[in-house]
Amino acid sequence: MIKLMRVDHRLLHGQVAFSWTSAIGSDCILIANDGIFKDDIRMAGIKLAKPHGVKLVIKNIEDSIKALQSGVTDKYNLFIVVETIKDAYRMAKEVDAIKSINLGGTKSRENTKQISKAIFINEEEENMLKELHQAGIQIEIRQVPDDSKVFIQNALK
Q: Which of 9, 13, 52, 133 is catalytic?
A: 13
3-state secondary structure of 130: helix
Instruction: Give 37's DSSP letter.
Output: G
CA distances from 28 to 13, 23, 55, 103 (A): 15, 13, 4, 19
pLDDT tens by residue, the chain, 157 residues: 999 999 999 999 887 789 999 999 999 999 999 999 889 999 999 999 999 999 999 999 999 999 999 999 999 999 999 999 999 999 999 999 999 999 999 999 999 999 999 999 999 999 999 999 999 999 999 999 999 999 999 999 7
Question: Catalytic site residue 13?
Answer: yes
Predicted local confidence at residue 157, as pLDDT: 79
The domain locations on the chain are 2-155
Cα gap 132→46, rounded to integer Å = 28
Predicted local confidence at residue 119, as pLDDT: 98
Check whether domain 2-155 has CATH 1.10.150.120, yes or no:
no
CB 24 within 8 A of CB 76: no
